[in-house]
A and B are shown apart, each in its own frame.
Chain A
Amino acid sequence: MTIYRLLFLYLKKMNIHLDQKEFAFQLESHPDFPSLAALSDTLNLFQVANAALHVHASEIDSLPTNFITKLKDTKEDTLSYVETHDTNHEFIVYQNSKKTIFSKEAFVKKWKGIVFLVAENTALQKKLSSFTFIHAVTLVCFLSFLALVKQHLLITEQFLFLLFPAIGFFLSVIALKHLFKIEHTIFNSFCHGATSENCSEIVHSTHWKFLDFINFSDVSITFFSFQIVLFFIFGFTTNFDIFFQLQSIMLLAAVPILILSLYYQKFIAKKWCTICISIGGIILGELLYVFVFHQNNTSEITFFEYTVSVFSLGIIVLLWYFIKDSYVKINRLETAERKAITFKKNYLLFKNTLISNPITVVPQTALIFGNEKAKLTLEFVTNPFCGFCEAPYFMLKNILERHENDVCIRLFFNFDIHKNRNEASQLVQQLVYTYQTYGVKAFMKALDAWYEEKNLAHWLQKHSHTFDSFEVDRMLQKHRSYFVDHQLTFTPLLIINGYKFPEMYSITDLNYFIEEIIHDHTIQLAESRKAINRVDTII
């Protein structure tokens, strides 16, 4: 059982639904993968609060009914997912592809004192809809195809033949499972254990020169696709006699390739490939079927029918060429993206880039969030009318929710109160006044509402208060002058403990590093240097 199975089983029990593919991508691109820190950071990235705790064996009864833990005596170095049953005091442990039931005494003996918990998140409890637009279109296509088949192709005996190319096509896809990234135990069982490499070796072999251009897997997938397409073309035109005439030619032409494949396995590769032999069996079965049931076909194939067949084959070969090429490119890009993201998530690299920036000093602000005494200070210069500032704002809000005690966020509005129209100025004034009078929650509620509707008149109608804006204007203008004087005229701007957020990163990339920054005490050095700078500025 992979860590994903354990984790998603746990998350399912907690009624948390995540995009599993995206989660796997983010986890595997974490520089510390496969550590627990990587797992925790990735869950944080998906806004699933979590923690790893030291829990003494005497506290086992106080644990929630579902949790992830690390047990003693495990052969593989993996975590275990545990479900507890209060009624019969049983511990159901999912580990290493096994589900084992332990009594409390037996479970305590295996206890290692480490528990990993996630908190329920109501926002993630809505199950992602699995029925998408693509599914709907596929369903419509399938139903209309069924209607066509019902009207034109009702002959069971001929339909039986379709089973051969259908199975052949299926086997050809399995032979290319690495290309299509199909991972399933059922598919794996076709090429399991020691023979696995053999299949891959035969299917992707380039031992002979011509296999560089077209290998056995290309031949089999195009051959069976061609058979299926011809079946429906001639089936819908009720011309099955011609179809089977063509099949006898095609199948006879396939025999030398079949012999070549067997020769290659026996004498060149000196290994047998289960899938290749099965595909060979299918072709022999088809040949037998055609010569037993359709040997007396006397229909003459016309030039038009030959042309249709050649044209179909050409289209299929071209299509396959482009599909395969696209898959190869996608797979290569996915690998490159994973490597690039892993590189980007490297904290040491980020930190070195961050602290190589000169110290940026900003003035005091009234808009302070989180713990003022926290060692980590994030100074965020924004503007409610800046579209790029929205995502960083919500990211910082999320960080604040998770690390209220560890972070201090100082917010600045880089906004020219005199140059902007009255209503726009009112929005900023009202936001500052809301913070000063009603506090952090009211401020965030008002700013959230602004980002949600972005209708100035409506927002002002709902969130306006009457007050003397002199002091607020003075602060806003002071900030504005400071930023202009120091050429910090762009928004959003994020400063971490005095260091400007590196330009080569996107501000929202802070999500990748926040856990490390919070636990990194060396980065605090800048704070003291900044303080000295502040004093200099004041002097």
Chain B
Amino acid sequence: MKINLKNSKNQLSRDEMKTIIAGNGAFIQGDGAYVLCNNGDEVAVNDCSEMDKACEGSKGGAKICSGGGN
């Protein structure tokens, strides 16, 4: 059975949740991301879920995706 909010009893206490950093950083709107393809090309994408498509074919596939929009 898949874990979900209703069937899980092992919830973190509030104090534990306060000690975990969710992440900093200013709110950035409309930010893009960049994919480095295996042939060295850098392609701009909306978000990193598009990285594979952006480096298809002669570009030799995606190497790494970076930027605010992934």
Contacts and interface: CB of A to CB of B under 8 A. Distances in A.
If over half of A's interface residues share one DSSP class (helix, strand or loop), that class is named, otherwise mixed; here it is mixed
B21 A34 contact: yes
Interface string B1-26: 11111101011111011111111111
A1 B70 contact: yes
Interface string A39-53: 110000000011111
A412 to B, nearest CB: 30
If over half of B's interface residues share one DSSP class (helix, strand or loop), that class is named, otherwise mixed; here it is loop
A423 B10 CA distance: 50
Given A2-B23, A59-B3, A99 B65 contact: yes
A4 B49 CA distance: 16
A164 to B, nearest CB: 26
A94 B47 CA distance: 11
Given A49-B5, A64-B2, A2 B24 contact: yes
Interface in B42-60: 47-49, 51
Contacts of A49: 5
Interface in A1-41: 1-6, 9, 20-21, 24, 28, 32, 34-40
Contact of A52 (B20, B30, B69): B20
B70 A98 contact: yes
Contact of B5 (A35, A119, A516): A119
Given A51-B11, A64-B3, A519-B14, A78 B47 contact: no
Interface residues of A, number: 51
A36 B28 contact: no
Contacts of B68: 1-2, 5, 97, 185
A449 interface: no
Given A36-B20, A37-B14, A62 B26 contact: no
Interface range, B side: 35 or more
Nearest to A40: B17
Contacts of B22: 3, 34-36, 38-39, 78-79
A98 B62 CA distance: 12
B38 interface: no
Nearest to A117: B5
Contacts of B67: 97, 185
Contacts of B13: 519
A114 interface: yes
Contact of A78 (B8, B21, B48, B51): B21
Contacts of A519: 13-14
Given A2-B27, A35-B18, A50 B5 contact: yes
A59 B2 CA distance: 9
A188 to B, nearest CB: 9
A51 B5 contact: yes
Given A34-B22, A114-B20, A117-B5, A183 B12 contact: no
Contacts of A99: 48-49, 51, 64-65, 70
A63 interface: yes
Interface string A264-294: 0000000000000000000000000000000
Given A32-B18, A185-B31, A2 B3 contact: no
A111 to B, nearest CB: 14
Interface in A97-119: 97-99, 114-115, 117-119
A184 B29 CA distance: 7
- Among B4, B16, B22, max chain A CB count under 10 A is at B22
Interface string A145-172: 0000000000000000000000000000
A114 B12 contact: yes
A39 B32 CA distance: 24
Given A53-B3, A53-B8, A5 B20 contact: no
Given A99-B70, A184-B30, A6 B10 contact: no
A421 interface: no
B24 A34 contact: yes
B10 A54 contact: yes
A76 B47 CA distance: 21
A4 B27 CA distance: 7
Contacts of B23: 2-3, 6, 34, 76-79
B28 A184 contact: yes
Interface of B: 1-6, 8, 10-14, 16-33, 47-49, 51, 64-70
Q: Which 7 A-B pairs have the closest CB atoms?
A: A3-B23, A2-B25, A24-B27, A78-B23, A37-B17, A99-B48, A52-B12
Given A77-B21, A184-B31, 7 more contacts: A2-B23, A5-B31, A35-B22, A36-B20, A63-B2, A97-B33, A184-B30
30 contacts: A1-B25, A2-B23, A2-B26, A3-B24, A4-B27, A21-B27, A21-B29, A32-B18, A34-B24, A35-B21, A36-B17, A36-B18, A37-B18, A39-B22, A40-B17, A49-B5, A51-B5, A51-B11, A78-B22, A94-B70, A97-B66, A99-B51, A118-B5, A119-B6, A183-B28, A183-B31, A184-B28, A185-B31, A515-B14, A516-B14
